[in-house]
Structure 1
Amino acid sequence: MDSTLIAGILSAIATILAVIIGYYLQRPKIQSELLKKDLADNQQLIEPNEALDDYDQRYLDYPSHYRFVKGLPQLYLAVCKNAQEGWDTGITGDMRQANYDVIDFLEYVWLRLAKFYPENHWDGKTAQAYIQNYLQERFIFHRSKYEPNGPGTGGTIVYILIGSDVIRDLEELINDTVDSLFMYNDDFDLEAWRKEWRKTITNIQQEN
């Protein structure tokens, strides 16, 4: 194949990927801003993000509805490579923001996976309400864990550690949800997906 044509194809792929990543990372970060502002005060940690569109349930009978799941490991790796610039600065504020960007992305992914379930499936709550409560509890737990002597005693590094642990929580939540959804789907190679998801997480952790 002509080298010019190959270069053009690669350039087009890179452009598309950049647009996708930019879309996820430029979504409103209402939750992240509230977390940064209120976490230290033990106030309400999370307020609802902008409401999703009218409920549009996805179905496992339609491969087009879950095609995005197959690409999640590669997309997540690209998102974290983008966040790596913030993590590498060593500046607390930049590192925290990088964590929040990744948390926002993972929350968005889980909400899309939750579309395979009925609207008020989660203990009678919408997926949006459920994930907000879940994140609030995880932030509180990790902060309490790192500050046994009371709020504010762990220093600013605590906020970076908290964000990293919440990222791990969401990675597992997504893994468990995909497992449950596709364990009996012969058209989805769940074992291959698991390996790729784990490999992606390992690569990200090694970078940090």
Structure 2
Amino acid sequence: MDTNLKVNLIVGFLSFISPIVVFYLDRFFRYKDLKKNEKIEKEILTFRERDSEQKTDKEFIFSLPNLKLEVYKNCHKNWDTGITLNMIKGNEDLIWFLRFCWLSLARFYPENYFSKKGHNTYIDEYIIERTNYHYSMLEAGDTQKNGTIAKVRLGGAIANDLDKLIVDLVEQILSFDDPRKNNWFEKWNSR
């Protein structure tokens, strides 16, 4: 057989077979992705139903405002000194407490719910992103970035963002018919 004829036969065969193979591969992977997505959705629903119904978990959620109050009292000892380094330390303590609260609440969700990298990585990247954002906002206003007090303001802004994130998470976790839900928000926001 002539080499050109062999090449033409192979090319013709491949051009006939390749759309069929691509069709079935696409069908296979779409079906696989569909099943995977259904499994993830089912896992999310069962995970939340199982964990959010446990009484001890709800009691922990309702204890968070009291814990926050105690942390604020300790942070105020640093803030009230008027020494910048102590004030920054107070902000750091508050930020780490709010990080702990968020991570504790995030366990009501599967590990890859917020990010494929996990809850710890998600919240750490969020804190870094908010730090960069608020620092750029402080740099934008010349009068605010002067002096060491800008770092104190930066910590307060990050803590406010984390606080809002926690409120949003609790709002999703607690059921609508829980009579203590409104009380939780009042106590949490009272500081």
Does TM, normalized by the shorter one, top 0.5? Answer: yes
1:140-179 residue pairs with structure 2 within 5 A? 140-148=132-140, 154-179=146-171
Shift of the alpha carbon at 1:156?
Answer: 1.1
C-alpha RMSD of the superposition: 2.2
Correspondence 1:12-161 to 2 at 5 A? 59-148=51-140, 154-161=146-153
Q: C-alpha offsets along residues 23-68 of structure 1, whole Å, 9 cap, x if unaligned?
A: xxxxxxxxxxxxxxxxxxxxxxxxxxxxxxxxxx970121112211
Give the whole-Å Cα distance in 1 for the aligned partners of 2:90 and 2:141: 27
Moved more, 186-195 or 76-85: 186-195
Partner Cα separation in structure 1 for residue 104 and residue 89 of structure 2: 23
Question: Is the contact made by 1:182 and 1:188 (CA closer than 8 Å) also made in structure 2?
Answer: no
- For 1:192, the equivalent position in structure 2 comes to 183
Greater share of residues in helix: 2
For structure 1, which segment, 137-146 or 190-199, has the greater mean C-alpha deviation from structure 2 after superposition?
190-199
Is residue 86–residue 97 contact of structure 1 (8 Å, CA) maintained in 2?
Answer: yes
The 3-state SS of whatever aligns with 1:59 is helix
Cα offset for 1:83? 1.0
Cα offset, 1:158, TM superposition: 0.9
- State percent identity of aligned pairs: 37
Secondary structure of 1:118's aligned partner: coil
Q: Show structure 2 runs of 5+ residues with no match.
A: 1-47
Letter in 1 for 2:172: S
Asked if the contact 1:146–1:154 (Cα under 8 Å) also holds between the matched residues in 2, the reply is: no
The alpha carbon displacement at 1:75 in A equals: 1.1
What CA deviation, in whole Å up to 9, does each residue of 1:60-99 have, x standing for no partner? 1211122111011111011110111110111111100110
- Residue 116 of structure 1 aligns to a residue whose secondary structure is coil
Structure with higher Rg: it is 2
| Alpha-carbon shift at residue 153 of structure 1 (Å) | 5.1
Residue ranges of structure 1 left out of the alignment (5+ in a row) = 1-56, 201-208
CA apart distance, 1:124: 2.1
- The amino acid that maps onto 1:198 is N
**How far did residue 154 of structure 1 move?**
2.8
Shift of 1:197: 1.2
Which 4+ stretches in 1 moved above 4 angstroms? Answer: none
For residues 77 and 158 of structure 1, what CA distance do their matches in structure 2 show?
Answer: 25
